[in-house]
Chains A and B, each alone.
Chain A
Amino acid sequence: MKKNIFITLLLLISSQLLVGQSKANIEEINRKLEQHTQSLQSIESDFEQIKHIDIFNEDVISKGTFLYHKDMKICLDYKTPSPYRMVIANNRLMTDMGGKRSVVTLKSNTMMNEMKAMISACMTGNLSAISSDFDLTYKENAEHYIITVTPRKSGVSNYIQRIEIYLAKKDMAVTRLTFYENEQDYTLYKFTNRRFNTLKNDDPRLAI
């Protein structure tokens, strides 16, 4: 009986300590993120995209370059397996499939605007931009803060169940990003060779 009471007390005390530790870390993470995003002008990095298709138990791997400029310009320039470029800038989305260009306006499309905001926030770590429309939970390991982003609104949640972001503790850069469509199918991005504040606003690769 005394042993059971002791174990119960021990568990209660430990859980309070963990809650305290988690809360302090969230404030620290948000402080570091705010410092990082305030100084961030641009990002240029290589990426590897792994699309896991559970039905076939196979992965489709794509590689390319990721560009971001603080004026809400994003470019995903795929090199393999097929050349493809997607640019979001000035409320427009441009896709280029091997020379065939298509441009759509995002202004009147609420869902596309939400997707644009989510992609931008998740790929750069600027989560304060989406905190009102998404639930955020925090974990950490030795080298990373791990943030899980869950959409609240039905538009984005029809396509994305949740997002998992790995932020490197040393520079608060996004190193891994996983979009879960459901529990089985996901798209994982790994960012390497990251370079900050090297791009100009008029970089032609960010133009539509």
Chain B
Amino acid sequence: MTHASLYSWAALLLIVVSTLCSCNRTVVGGTLAPEIYATDSITGRYDFGIEMGKTAQGGIMMARSTDNGVRLVATSYFGLSLFDLTLSPEGYKLNNCIDFLDKPQIWQLLYNDFSLLFLPQYEGKISKDKQGNIVMKGGKGIASGKITYNPQSQETKIKHKWIGMKITLKPIETKQTTE
């Protein structure tokens, strides 16, 4: 086997391996890319935080795939349920949420953000910053946001600078479903 063909096989192997590892994103430069946090029969658990101005709320979010999308359930650290949301490429369904989050504008924004993280439908440009974080941009105008994903820590930070909102998400553990 020549050196050239050996390198070709190595490159092909790397591409296959990277697409199998759905939590590790590759910079593909602007086409449909796999979601940041893959969900299937495994329930993902994430340390979740949201800041709006001086107000901060944190907790734990759980994610599991459904027939046509992903279901997200978040609770505060104290155990109070925050929201129960179903995401799909066609839209979202807010199953339940705490009063102060019950505003359509907030959920349209969060749907856009969570879709970029949990649904494989991003079509924009993906780039890397100097720290090696993967960077995506979503939304338009005042609702535009920047998503930064650290492949080592698997932590995601979302910033909507025009409205002063920040969201952080970091996996805690994954757990097999009991059903």
- B interface, CB within 8 angstroms of A: 43, 45, 47, 49, 51, 54-56, 58, 60, 62, 64, 71, 73, 75, 77-81, 84, 98-99, 172-173, 175, 177-179
Contacts and interface: CB of A to CB of B under 8 A. Distances in A.
Contacts, number: 68
A173 to B, nearest CB: 21
A169 interface: no
Given A82-B47, A100-B56, A57 B172 contact: no
Given A60-B60, A84-B58, A53 B73 contact: yes
Contact of B178 (A49, A58, A76): A58
Contacts of A60: 45, 60, 62, 75
Interface string A48-67: 01010101111010100000
7 contacts: A49-B79, A53-B73, A58-B43, A82-B60, A86-B77, A95-B58, A179-B79
A60 B58 CA distance: 15
Contacts of A100: 49, 51, 56
Given A57-B179, A58-B175, A76-B78, A97 B43 contact: no
B99 A158 contact: yes
Contact of A81 (B80, B81, B173, B178): B173
Contacts of A82: 47, 58, 60, 77, 172
A56 B58 contact: no
Contact of A181 (B81, B99, B179): B81
